[in-house]
Structure 1
Amino acid sequence: MTSQEYEQVVIAGGGIGGLAAAVACAQRGVPVQLLERGAQLSEVGAGIQIGPNVTRILQAWGLGAALAQVAAFPEQLQARDAQTGQLLGTLILGARAQARYGAPYATIHRADLQGLLHRAAQSAGVHMLLGQTVQGWQGSEAALQVNTAEGLSLHASALIGADGVWSAVRQQLLGDAPACFTGHLAYRALVAQADLPAHLRSQHVTVWLGPRLHVVHYPVRGGEWLNMVAIVHGDKPAQADAWDSAGHTQALMQAMGAVGKDLHERLASAPAWRQWALHDRAPLAAAEQMAQGRVALLGDAAHPMRPYLAQGAGMAIEDAQALAQSLSQHSATVTEQLQAYAQQRWVRNARVQARAIRNGRIFHATGPVAWGRNLSMRLLGERVMDVPWLYAGGLMSGNESTFRDFSS
């Protein structure tokens, strides 16, 4: 930014996207003030998958060693039929992903990822204020005044809304309708591998595909825990905007229907489940949906997406990198910087949103579509399970796959 426009950048939200943006900006010398509505930084949910497009960025930020201490690095991804247990296809990860994309494929607990980003932000000198909810802003072409519900007022050169799917920043900026219920319910569970019988322990990513459902499980926390996610179709809960609520094993089993013995045993091994209703928005249609004037959106505030490409957190981290690059272009005004960020990001985010929707249809297919999916995976294997257009991130070109990735 120009010296005449010098002010701090205010980031609303201390989740993965907000912290990633703070780290990326601070490392490039952009002054940052992060506001988080919670009294402490905490992350709900359980595990996430982060592909080479994401781990490459974390390594570039100097976080590769920290990631290696808390993540797991599966050697392969398996796809199985949820009803028969039959192996449909395998994608080799591990050293092959590292060699092909220059970075590993990792699985990690959300809290561990947030924790390493939090520590990196502190090391970079990011100033954080907890218990502050961004309520709105006033501004002109010259500056912004960002206001919180708790009475704080901050002068800023830019405001970044990283405040999630129910973003207050988005509502003032775009004034559109809330995110929509997808008709899908997600159940999550974490189980210590040591508490499982040997045949249920796993250091791989495994996805089970069935009619109107799928299940994915993979190791987290250095492989010591197994993260399980089951997604089924269902009615909108009474508190559909709640991110996380108690899930009942009996309700999950009823929704799963007639799954095979192997999968049923895995689901029954979880002592407790958490449920939440999945919400999303239509894919982005223009750069103006990500930035206007001195205000920009990032991550779920801009482009909430279904988990069927396992890239929600990944796209937020990519956003953070692009945002910091744009804000460090000193020859441009802040408005120009944010517009450049939006122009760079909206098409890729829209593509990932659209592919996630499509993957959900394929994962949950019935009848001839499911038969064709399974046949394609048996015959073509890695050719339909890898996604070079996503993981390469500009490092290489390649044909798009038909399927992938296998949920969060």
Structure 2
Amino acid sequence: MRNVMIAGGGIGGLSAALACTRAGAGVALFERNAEFSEFGAGIQLSPNIVKILYDWGLQEALSEVVAFPDRLQVRSAISGAELGRLRLGEEIARRYGAPYLTIHRADLHAVLLAALQQQGGATLHLSSPVNGFEQTETDVALQLDHDQLARGDLLVGADGGWSSIRQQLLDDGTPQPTGQLAYRALISQARLPIHLRSSQVTAWLGPQMHVVQYPVRRGEWLNVVAIVHGQVQGDMSHWDHSGNAAELQQRLQLTCKPLKDLIQAVPNWRLWALSIRPPMRSGREQAGGRVALLGDAAHPMLPYLAQGAGMAIEDAAVLAQVLEQGGFFADADGSADPGSLVPGLLRQYARLRWQRNARVQATAISNGKIFHASGLMAFGRNVVMKIRGEAVMDQPWLYRGV
């Protein structure tokens, strides 16, 4: 059995572990924290991602924790007027072969972890930070605490935006702050007045800000994300800062009453300073030698296309597919020679992924400028959305998948 080592136990790392064990690999996953956990925030899962998760046999488990929004509506944060809408529900499922789901990040993490444990074939190491690695012609050695070593045929760096695996592999610095802050909150819909409850995705667009809201946890909770321009004090690599509700209310005081009512109804916020890298420029940023990068370690992106977790899941699916089709998972006494195959297979993985990831990164940056536009640019945006409607909001190139 071939051995895949994974650094990082978030959504990307668990996805890679599940995809590789399903294909026949033995996996050793190393997570620096003492337990598997995810912070409380929502994720939008578009059809390109849902198809992969369903192919992994997760449809039933997901159905117990997701919400199925019926539409995506865009509204002016200033006037409250509707600017455009995209039908979700049965329409988007018919169009792309899978529904559009919204989910609590911790629930997706739990579904992946349970599936991985049920699948078998993976050894999960908690409280195991990876301090470095060394590649040879035949394997990769991970340096762990207390001078311990772990060896495998290849290493997947799924250790987030401030990836130490990437830093050693590429030595290209760290993600840079964008000057934008994300305030995130979850609130029980039962605690909200009826007029603030929602079963759809709503994006409120305004000058130098926008707010997105959508249901999670079977629709019982509402996820709210408000993004404004500003700076945060403290460690930029730590995303979960305490957010000040009064400060956010002050920042959004010129917005329409329905939006202000929603913001004022949320008592507690967590704060995340957005930091990114430029869109990928080559496959070198996705893999090198026996090391593959995945998710934010390879392509941290702004949340303006709702694809950060999605691209990590796509990375995992494509990586496992390339390894399986390339013979990596052949029995040890078979004809395949993983010693010579691995670097070439990871180059193929990089070729298949970097341009799509770069396009998503670039589109998210462009969307941010459009979402936060003012003056003539905002006027033009609103006119185009009114005239073209779903044609502007739909993303066939993305939702069809890989």
Q: Under TM normalisation by the shorter chain, which class is it?
A: over 0.9
SS in structure 2 opposite 1:44?
A: coil
Checking the alignment, whether the CA contact within 8 Å between 1:291 and 1:338 is kept in structure 2 is yes
| Separation in structure 1 between the aligned mates of residue 275 and residue 251 of structure 2, nearest angstrom | 19
| Separation in structure 2 between the aligned mates of residue 202 and residue 164 of structure 1, nearest angstrom | 32
> Which residue does 2:361 correspond to in 1?
353
SS in structure 2 opposite 1:308?
A: coil
What do the CA deviations read for 1:224-281 (whole angstroms, capped 9, x no partner)?
0000000000024233222101100111122224111110000001110110101110
Amino acid at match of 1:390: L
> Which residue does 1:336 correspond to in 2?
344
SS in structure 2 opposite 1:231?
A: strand
SS in structure 2 opposite 1:335?
A: helix
Correspondent of 2:288 among 280, 289, 292: 292
The reply to whether residue 392 of structure 1 matches residue 388 of structure 2 is: no
Checking the alignment, whether the CA contact within 8 Å between 1:9 and 1:30 is kept in structure 2 is yes
Correspondent of 1:20 among 10, 15, 19: 15
Amino acid at match of 2:275: H
SS in structure 2 opposite 1:208?
A: strand
Amino acid at match of 1:270: V
| Separation in structure 1 between the aligned mates of residue 146 and residue 162 of structure 2, nearest angstrom | 19
Matches within 5 A, 1:64-213: 64-125=59-120, 126-213=122-209
SS in structure 2 opposite 1:393?
A: coil
Report deviation, 1:151.
3.4
> Which residue does 1:397 correspond to in 2?
none
> Which residue does 2:257 correspond to in 1?
261
What do the CA deviations read for 1:325-367 (whole angstroms, capped 9, x no partner)?
1122215611111111111100000000000000000000010
Large movers: runs of 4+ above 6 Å: none
| Separation in structure 1 between the aligned mates of residue 387 and residue 135 of structure 2, nearest angstrom | 58
The reply to whether residue 309 of structure 1 matches residue 305 of structure 2 is: yes
> Which residue does 1:364 correspond to in 2?
372
| Separation in structure 2 between the aligned mates of residue 239 and residue 146 of structure 1, nearest angstrom | 26
SS in structure 1 opposite 2:131?
A: strand
| Separation in structure 2 between the aligned mates of residue 238 and residue 30 of structure 1, nearest angstrom | 40
Report deviation, 1:7.
4.2
The reply to whether residue 283 of structure 1 matches residue 291 of structure 2 is: no
What do the CA deviations read for 1:16-47 (whole angstroms, capped 9, x no partner)?
00000000000000111111000000001410
SS in structure 1 opposite 2:304?
A: helix
> Which residue does 1:40 correspond to in 2?
35
| Separation in structure 2 between the aligned mates of residue 182 and residue 149 of structure 1, nearest angstrom | 34
Report deviation, 1:145.
1.1
> Which residue does 1:373 correspond to in 2?
381
| Separation in structure 2 between the aligned mates of residue 45 and residue 181 of structure 1, nearest angstrom | 22
| Separation in structure 1 between the aligned mates of residue 384 and residue 253 of structure 2, nearest angstrom | 25
Checking the alignment, whether the CA contact within 8 Å between 2:18 and 2:112 is kept in structure 1 is yes
Checking the alignment, whether the CA contact within 8 Å between 2:49 and 2:401 is kept in structure 1 is no
Report deviation, 1:150.
4.4
The reply to whether residue 318 of structure 1 matches residue 326 of structure 2 is: no
Report deviation, 1:374.
0.7
RMSD: 1.1
Checking the alignment, whether the CA contact within 8 Å between 1:179 and 1:279 is kept in structure 2 is yes
> Which residue does 1:57 correspond to in 2?
52
Checking the alignment, whether the CA contact within 8 Å between 1:233 and 1:255 is kept in structure 2 is no
Correspondent of 2:391 among 379, 383, 391: 383
| Separation in structure 2 between the aligned mates of residue 359 and residue 120 of structure 1, nearest angstrom | 34
Query: What is the percentage of aligned positions where both structures have the same residue?
Result: 53
Amino acid at match of 1:113: L
Amino acid at match of 1:387: Q
Report deviation, 1:378.
1.1
Amino acid at match of 1:94: G
TM-score (structure 2 length as normaliser) = 0.95
Amino acid at match of 1:213: M
Amino acid at match of 1:377: M
What do the CA deviations read for 1:370-399 (whole angstroms, capped 9, x no partner)?
0011111111110101000000125xxxxx
Unaligned stretches of 5+ residues in structure 1? 1-5, 395-408
| Separation in structure 2 between the aligned mates of residue 150 and residue 181 of structure 1, nearest angstrom | 34
| Separation in structure 2 between the aligned mates of residue 301 and residue 70 of structure 1, nearest angstrom | 27
| Separation in structure 2 between the aligned mates of residue 137 and residue 323 of structure 1, nearest angstrom | 20
Amino acid at match of 1:386: D
Matches within 5 A, 1:214-293: 214-293=210-289
Amino acid at match of 1:130: L
| Separation in structure 1 between the aligned mates of residue 401 and residue 181 of structure 2, nearest angstrom | 31
Report deviation, 1:152.
2.7
Checking the alignment, whether the CA contact within 8 Å between 2:199 and 2:214 is kept in structure 1 is yes
| Separation in structure 2 between the aligned mates of residue 257 and residue 241 of structure 1, nearest angstrom | 29
| Separation in structure 2 between the aligned mates of residue 254 and residue 201 of structure 1, nearest angstrom | 23
> Which residue does 1:405 correspond to in 2?
none
Checking the alignment, whether the CA contact within 8 Å between 1:45 and 1:244 is kept in structure 2 is no
Checking the alignment, whether the CA contact within 8 Å between 1:158 and 1:294 is kept in structure 2 is yes
SS in structure 2 opposite 1:228?
A: strand
